[in-house]
Amino acid sequence: MKAVCYMGVEKMTVENVPDPTILNPRDAIVRISTTCICGSDLHLYDGLVPTMEQGDIMGHEFMGEVVEVGAGVKPEKLKVGDRVVVPFTIACGNCFFCKRELWSLCNNSNPNYWIAERMMGHSPSGLFGYTHMLGGYAGGQAQYARVPFADVGPLKVPEEIPDDKAVFLSDIFPTGYFGAVNAEIEPGDTVAVWGCGPVGQFAIRSAFMLGAERVIAIDRFDYRLRMAQDGGAETINYEQVDDVVQTLKDMTGNIGPDRCIDAVGMEAHGHGMIFLMDRVKQKARIETDRPFALRQAIQACRKGGTVSVPGVYAGFDDKIPLGAFMNKALTLKTGQTHMMRYMKPLLEKIQKGEIDPSFVVSHRVPIDQAPRMYKVFRDKQDECTKVVLDPWAEGAMAA
Amino acid sequence: MITGGALAVYGITRRSPWGIALAAAGGAITLIGSMQKLHAQPSTKSTLLVQCSPEQAYRFWRDFENLPRFMNRLESVSVMEDGRSRWVAVGPMGRTVTWDAEITSERKNELIAWRSLPGSDIEVFGEVEFRSAPANRGTLISSRIKYRPAPGMAGAVARFFSRGANFAIRQDMRRLEALMEAGEVPTTEGQSHGRRDLVTAVMRVADPTRPIPSGASVRDTFAARRNIA
């Protein structure tokens, strides 16, 4: 089958690899109909998350048809022929964490848990196509994928919902929604969202669903800010203001946004000395992340407010203003998304027509174009917000 | 031990009868020291919270034939008619190591202890304890295993099992947790991938469970080989 493989920093290639097979009783094999490049894949493309190996298959946002199930999967849970969307987190369904619906913290799905334990004390769940530290599972930017614990994760999608609307239930829609849930929004709240990539876009729309009065979106690309405006947000282009924190205070009668969502993560952009220091330190591997957005979120947040972090951080961060955090009595909520909590309710919202997640798509290309699209997406060329890949279309560029 | 070594060296340099006596005494101290070290193989212990009842965990463990499903170094355990069991493990250089064991102490749903019988390649002492965690949070399983060279046998086998034993026992216990809770042990062994570079490919063959750091060198490859040797 064809698969997008990591061959080194800024080097992806489409390789012909053997089709996946069932390795464990609760596995299933999915023939992928639609798959995507996620913003978090760009951190891997840039070589910033440790324990990638040459030859690893990328991708964690995919859906398709079940073509094979292991002996341990009961037919009432999943059977051959089911059309499913697969969450990016892998969960066993029975451990301490799964029982408490903390699905992204599953204790049994990461075979390489010990590497994560060395870095973080404990290991989160295994993920598809996202480093060996987080499981080393082959990903879904391919024609087929092996799905472990297939009786827990995959959600059946009714025929009338096209791939374009359903595929984002694999990560970014629930992740944006989880970001908004974690922000503990109360009616009348003003919510600030850093980053207007796909997760930010879904966080904006989810914030309104959860009762926000105003949403203020922060980015530096006008085309992304326009998309945020379409979702009802007011916007700040941080390259056009002197001080984002002061601007946010000015917009909120000096009180600051009640809830702040960092949908940027470890590769934030900004300006000034601190940003330059982060860049240098990240390049020199002294600091793994550039937490520019998180610092601003903590500074801007209303006293007693909540900072929610759906953005991905990988390691160790400098100059987090803990003084502000403590003295302003803020709450910080974060985590990889507990996917299985939100996939079904959000599918229902799509069915009812409350939201059509396909608005984020900017590029639809055959899988052979994926290596080039990583660069386009990373460099924000061609107004790129979301790249959808067709694993079966041949060669030439589609619309 | 250092004192003994120093005495021996000093004695040899004296080249006199007294010196030789001194050297012999020093040598003896060194020998005793090293033997003590050999016998002081630390026992390894691991405690894990597992989502099952003490009864379930006890029943699973009490059937020793289940143990190779989560103890990676064990090839098989077969329970014999007299209640004793024969354990077959993979030892140094892939060599098979065998020992017979008997249960030395047992409390239903609480504790099992066993030890190898005289005449084995290695002395093994094992103990596992099952306790309910508070507020129905599952069962705390504590296992303790100790390896010692059998009398008259070289210490290589015991050293092999003792080296990295803390890590190995934790890995085994995590596999047990996965088996008890999820019914299977997570794996990626045998899945598809693209072309590996030479270093990665060799290291993968040498040690399939260990991920390779990006930018690994040929030196790391040899280190990986040493780890399994």
Return the residue of A nearest to B178 by Cα.
A108
The dihedral built from the CA positions of residue A347, A348, A349 and A352, taken in this order, carries a sign that is positive
The pLDDT profile of chain A, 399 residues, written as one tens digit per residue, is 999 999 999 999 999 999 999 999 999 999 999 999 999 999 999 998 888 999 999 999 999 999 999 999 999 999 999 999 999 999 999 999 999 999 999 999 999 999 899 889 999 999 999 999 999 999 999 999 999 999 999 999 999 999 999 999 999 999 999 999 999 999 999 999 999 999 999 999 999 999 999 999 999 999 999 999 999 999 999 999 999 999 999 999 999 999 999 999 988 887 777 777 788 878 777 777 788 999 999 999 999 999 999 999 988 888 899 999 999 999 999 999 999 999 999 999 999 999 999 999 999 999 999 999 999 999 999 999 999 999 999 865 543
How many CA atoms lie less than 13 Å away from B197 in the CB half-sphere? 15
Q: What is the pLDDT of residues B162-194, one digit of tens each?
A: 777 888 899 999 999 999 999 999 999 999 999
CA pair distance A295, A252, nearest whole angstrom:
19
Does residue A190 sit in the same domain as residue A221? yes
Q: Specify the CATH number for the domain of residue A295.
A: 3.40.50.720
Per-residue confidence (pLDDT) for residue B163, from 0 to 100: 76
Same domain (yes/no): B31, B136: no
Tell me, yes or no, if B164 comes closer than 8 A to chain A by beta carbon: no
Q: Within this chain, do residues B25 and B84 fall inside the same structural domain, yes or no?
A: no
In a domain? residue B190: no
Q: Are residues A90 and A130 in the same domain?
A: yes
Looking at the structure, tell me whether residues B21 and B132 fall in a common domain: no
Establish if B191 belongs to a structural domain: no
Instruction: Give the tokens for residue A18.
Output: 């053997």
User: Taking Cα atoms as reference points, which of A264, A271, A6, A253 lies closest to residue A129?
Assistant: A6
Residue A241 covered by a domain: yes
pLDDT for res A13 = 97
Complex ipTM, two decimals? 0.91
Interface test with B, best of A13, A53, A98 (most B CBs within 10 A): A53
Which of B177, B195, B211 has the CB atom closest to A108's CB atom? B177
**Do A200 and A254 belong together in one domain?**
yes
Which class for A367: exposed (0-12), middle (13-18), buried (19 or more C-beta within 10 A)?
A: buried
In this structure, are B34 and B52 located in the same domain? no
Q: Cβ of B184 and A26 within 8 Å?
A: yes
SS3 content of chain B, % helix, strand, coil (to 5): 45, 25, 30
**Contact check, Cβ <8 Å, B195/A111:** no
Instruction: Among A95, A128, A133, A146, pick the best mutation site for testing chain B contact (most B Cβ within 10 A).
Output: A95
Per the domain annotation, does A395 fall within a domain?
no
Residue among A236, A206, A212 nearest A224 (CA): A236
CA distances from B74 to A24, B86, B169 (A): 20, 11, 12
Q: In Å, what is the CA distance from B183 to each residue of A173, A306, A378, B142?
A: 31, 39, 41, 20
Is residue B192 in a domain?
no
**How far does CA A59 lie from the centroid of its chain?**
11
Between chains, do B211 and A133 touch, taking CB under 8 Å as contact?
yes
> Which CATH number characterizes residue B109's domain?
3.30.530.20
Q: Is A136 on the interface with B (CB under 8 A)?
A: yes
Q: Is residue B168 part of a domain?
A: yes
Name the A residues in 335-374 with CB < 8 Å from any B CB. none
Length of chain B: 229
DSSP state of A132: T
Does B87 share its domain with B134? yes
**Domain span holding position A239:** 173-334
Continuous H helices in chain A: 39-45, 96-99, 113-120, 163-166, 172-182, 198-209, 222-230, 244-251, 273-283, 292-300, 322-327, 339-351, 370-378
What is the rounded end-to-end Cα distance, in angstroms, of chain B? 28
> Residues in chain B with pLDDT < 70?
1-42, 207-229
Contacts of A122 (CB under 8 A, 6+ apart): A116
- CA A238 to chain CA mean position, Å: 23
A138: which chain B residues are within 8 Å (Cβ-Cβ)? 188, 191-193
Verify that B121 and B62 share a domain, yes or no: yes
Closest by alpha carbon to A255, among A216, A210, A295?
A: A216
Per the CB < 8 Å rule, is B194 touching A109?
Answer: no
The nearest CA of chain B is from the CA of A303 a distance in Å of: 36
Residues of chain A neighbouring B186 (CB-CB closer than 8 A): 24, 92, 108-111, 126, 135, 148
pLDDT of A128 reads 98
Query: How far, in Å, CA of B127 to CA of A271, rounded?
Result: 60
Query: A161 and A44 in one domain?
Result: yes
> In the numeric block, which tokens belong to residue A351?
């069915």
Q: Which of B193, B200, B203 to mutate to test the interface with A (most CBs of A within 10 A)?
A: B193
Query: A55, B167: Cβ pair inside 8 Å?
Result: no
Cβ–Cβ of B212/A18 closer than 8 Å?
A: no
Per the domain annotation, does B193 fall within a domain?
no
Q: Could you list the residue range(s) of the whole structural domain that residue B64 is in?
A: 44-182
Measure CB to CB from residue A109 to each of B138, B186, B212 and give the nearest one. Answer: B186
A89 neighbors A153 (Cβ within 8 angstroms): yes
Chain A residues with CB-CB distance to B195 below 8 A: 5, 7, 15, 54-55
**Is residue A396 in a domain?**
no
**Alpha carbons A91 and A152: distance in angstroms, whole number:** 7
Residues A137 and A224 in one domain: no
Chain B contacts of A53, Cβ < 8 Å? 196, 200, 211-212, 214
Q: Please state, in angstroms and rounded to a whole number, the distance separating the CA atoms of residues B94 and A187.
A: 66
Give yes or no for B151 touching A (CB within 8 A): no
**From B179, which residue of chain A is nearest by alpha-carbon distance?**
A108
Report the run of H or E that residue B124 belongs to, with start and end: strand B122-132
The CB-side HSE value for A93 (13 A sphere, CA atoms) comes to: 14
Q: Does B167 touch chain A (CB under 8 A)?
A: yes
- Judging contacts by C-beta atoms under 8 Å, the chain B residues touching residue A96 are 49, 51, 137-138
Q: What is the CATH number of the domain that holds A30?
A: 3.90.180.10
* Dihedral class, residue B92 (left if φ above 0, else alpha if ψ from -120 to 50, else beta): beta
- Number of separate domains in chain A: 2
Cα separation, A390 vs A141, in Å, equals 9
Domain count, chain B: 3
Q: Is residue B187 part of a domain?
A: no
Burial (CB count within 10 angstroms: exposed 0-12, middle 13-18, buried 19+), residue A396: exposed
A77 and A32 both lie in a single domain: yes
Q: Is A17 on the interface with B (CB under 8 A)?
A: yes
Are B56 and B169 in the same domain? yes
Is B177 found in the same domain as B95? yes
Is residue B131 located within the same domain as residue B80?
A: yes
- pTM, two decimal places: 0.88
- CA A26-A27-A32 angle, 5° bins: 150
Does residue B135 sit at the A interface (CB-CB below 8 Å)? no
Angle between helices B198-206 and B218-228 (to 10 degrees): 10
d(C-alpha A166, C-alpha A361), whole Å: 12
Residue count (chain A): 399
The reply to whether B64 and B167 lie within a common domain is yes
Same domain, A138 and A194: no
**Binary contact (B194, A137; C-beta < 8 A):** no
Closest residue by Cα to residue A36 from A379, A392, A383, A364: A364
Please give the Cα distance from A129 to A132 (Å, whole number): 8
Whether residue B187 and residue A24 make contact (CB cut-off 8 A), yes or no, is yes
Is A148 in contact with B49 (Cβ distance < 8 A)? no
Residues B170 and B59 in one domain: yes
B183 contacts A52? CB cut-off 8 A: no
Residues 22-51 of A with CB under 8 A from B: 23-26, 47, 50-51
Whether residue A386 sits in one domain with residue A304: no
Query: What local confidence, expressed as pLDDT, does residue B8 receive?
Result: 53
Q: Does A1 touch chain B (CB under 8 A)?
A: yes
The answer to whether A133 contacts B197, with C-beta atoms less than 8 Å apart, is: no
B192 to A113: CB separation less than 8 angstroms, yes or no: no
Nearest by CB to residue A53, choosing from B171, B178, B200, is B200
Cα separation values, B109 from B64, B69, B130, Å: 15, 20, 7
Residue B111 lies in a domain: yes
- Residue A397 forms part of a structural domain: no
Specify whether A215 is located in the same domain as A284. Answer: yes
Contact B192 A132 (CB under 8 A): no
Indicate if A19 and A42 belong to the same structural domain. yes
B105 and B151, same structural domain? yes
Q: How far is CA A146 from the centre of its chain?
A: 20
Q: Say whether both A220 and A250 belong to one domain.
A: yes
Residue A399 lies in a domain: no
Residue A157 lies in a domain: yes
CB of B197 within 8 Å of any CB in chain A? yes
Is B170 at the interface with chain A, CB within 8 A? yes
The contacts of residue A57 (CB under 8 Å, 6+ apart) are A3, A4, A5, A6, A17, A129, A138, A139, A141, A142, B192, B193, B194
| Shortest alpha-carbon distance between residue A45 and chain B (Å) | 13
Assess contact for A41 and A4: CB atoms under 8 A: no
| Same domain, yes or no: A216 and A116 | no
Domain contains A166? yes
